[in-house]
Structure 1
Amino acid sequence: MKKVTWWFRIVGAFYALLAVLNLYGTFVDHSFFASSMPFTGEALQAFIDGWSPFAFEILGIGTFALWASRNPARYLGAVWLLVWLEFTHGVLDDIYLISRGYDTVGYLIFIVVHLIIIGSGVWAVRAAESERA
């Protein structure tokens, strides 16, 4: 179960860090987003308003993962959910964004990060499940 405990802690901390960065851009300094956006003014505000649910979502996932690390055996199913979200909301979405002309290198780096989270999650939960058997 130690592998799942550490997986929850590392992934939870990573998500929490991403949430803090995104919430900073949402609430404190809009130039955080503006520097990489091809639009300004109302269009930028619309993007930020649309982006805010993502920031809160990753905050929720990150804090849940950190909390779940206290009793990982109870939340093994959450590992599978996060693995699936990493694939659909992570890898597939990044491929879509690349196909739409966004920064290929940046999104390929994120795809690698998603695949590391996926692979390590599968490895950790399978190890925990075999311990329980």
Structure 2
Amino acid sequence: MYQIQIKRIYTEKSDTDGFRILTDRLWPRGIAKEKAAIDFWAKELSPSTYLRKWFDHKEELFTRFRELYREELEKNPEKDSFIRLVKEELKKEAVTLLFASKEEKLNQATVLAEWLKEQLSENTKEHSA
């Protein structure tokens, strides 16, 4: 099975990216659609506008942001189809979650990657039981 990775959208696309998913609610500034080379825009699974503005990439708020964003993901009606999409793509290639923030670690893509890995391992356990 391939892996889930995260990357800034401003970083050059590479052959190891595989299926590219934009995790931002807003289109990244200064990026042409062609250059972005995204395969899926997970706009509906990105943090709510309220949560995004509240967090504002402040390090001291990240732990709470992580909790609140994970709660949003759990309640999101799109989550099951998104998990299925990622699972299907991982059978063929890597999945890269793209984000625009200058903050490489404390952003929604890291939370989404962590959450997805948990969801996929739970699905695997359920099917092997």
Q: Which range, TM-score by smaller chain?
A: 0.3 to 0.5
Question: Relative contact order, CA 8 A, sep 6+: which one is greater?
Answer: 2
Larger Rg: 1
Structure that is richer in strand per residue: 2
Structure that is richer in helix per residue: 1
TM-score (norm 2): 0.33
TM-score (norm 1): 0.32
